[in-house]
Structure 1
């Protein structure tokens, strides 16, 4: 894998203890990357089709990432899972991650619904943090999906985590992530309350923007109906 530097390879070689297990790890990461690209392609296709149907793109951007080896090891250590290639594949659902940034909240549910209904995708888990935000105010729709990848000698189902957010939700989550890792914060509880309040304001903003869009689309439909006489 090109995104593994020489120091990471050395560290993993020490962790695994033999070259075969290290190669097995690298192959697994390659398979997750292939699965991630499969999901991205599906989303790109949906975005293109819906842009033709609705004269606008529901997706603003798509971000993809493979979890870094160091993050994998730390997560397994926190969960008290012995570090091995088999345990990675068996226990972790977020090695391959796709983040979909949408224009409006209803775009999120539309895209997720179409994605879930594709006959080669299996929904493993769904967490709706938009309808039911986390206590800190975090909002996003999370899907754990299994998608097929076609290798030279086998077809294999791989798990990918897909997160759907609006632009406003992503803005809040990015700032909250940066702020919560700062050290020696005074009045941490007050700041946490402020962040939660901001998350609620952002949610209201998303709702208002969607209402404006719906009114504009309704006006456009009425104008077209008057022109055609329908």
Structure 2
């Protein structure tokens, strides 16, 4: 099942939101304003490319899931969630980094504009799907952060991989980054609650700290339960066992070109 956490790109809505930021873009009918109009057009075109890259990756994941079902009678992916970062979120991130409102700044510095969350059934599935996807010849692994084997201090676990995938337009192939987060159902369940707590600002500090500690304890307990259930799954199912996380192609010219702003 694929869940789009936002509707597909709405160019009229993007144009309206960028125009609302006119004090920064100079949309005032002058020569500066004309450059602002050009920026809106370039921004919409770039968002179309990000959307295309997101759908390219999600299609690859669907095909992998179907192949697993045929080969092993097991679907490793429980569901997918896709999202394009909102216009406000993109502009806000540029502001926080002191970057200009340009398409070049977005391309060179923001690698999570297009995002997919892959919710798998078991930890083996996380690594198997990530590695099979990474092995495909037309995509590149740009960056890997394995928070499953190396959890964050608060207990967060997930495998983050940034891929570059070609989007073919009339002007040729545009290699575009997509951030993919792989996690199990239990990891996602935990992360959703932790996210809600993090942004719950009206809780007293002592209650917030108490819940944070409880969530850390829960993360460790869930990890133990997942390990036991994984063992049972391995005994009754012939699907591939998980290996190591994918590795970035450090010497890839595509990677170096895509990450030139970092």
Scaled by the length of structure 1, what TM-score is found? 0.90
Q: What is residue 71 of structure 1 aligned with on the other side?
A: 89
| SS of residue in 1 equivalent to 2:237 | helix
Q: What is residue 16 of structure 1 aligned with on the other side?
A: 25
1:211 CA drift (Å): 1.2
The 8 Å contact of residues 94 and 160 in structure 1, kept in 2 or not, is answered as yes
| SS of residue in 2 equivalent to 1:25 | helix
Matched, 1:167 2:185: yes
Matched, 1:208 2:216: no
Q: Partners of 1:130 and 1:179 in 2: how far apart?
A: 21
1:127–1:101: structure 2 CA closer, same or farther, 3 Å change rule? same
| Count of aligned pairs between the two proteins | 218
Q: Which runs of 5+ in 2 are unaligned?
A: 1-8, 27-35, 239-262
Q: What is residue 10 of structure 2 aligned with on the other side?
A: 2
| SS of residue in 2 equivalent to 1:126 | strand
1:7 CA drift (Å): 4.5
1:77 CA drift (Å): 1.9
The 8 Å contact of residues 13 and 22 in structure 1, kept in 2 or not, is answered as no
Q: 1:157 aligns with which of 157, 175, 183?
A: 175
Shift >6 Å, 4+ stretches: none
Q: Which runs of 5+ in 1 are unaligned?
A: 219-230
Q: Partners of 1:162 and 1:194 in 2: how far apart?
A: 28
The 8 Å contact of residues 12 and 22 in structure 1, kept in 2 or not, is answered as no
| Residues 125-152 of structure 1, C-alpha deviations (whole Å, 9 max, x = no match) | 0000000001111100000110001002
1:10 CA drift (Å): 2.5
Q: Partners of 2:21 and 2:134 in 1: how far apart?
A: 35
The 8 Å contact of residues 16 and 22 in structure 1, kept in 2 or not, is answered as no
Q: What is residue 43 of structure 2 aligned with on the other side?
A: 25
| Residues 13-45 of structure 1, C-alpha deviations (whole Å, 9 max, x = no match) | 543332111110011011000000000011011
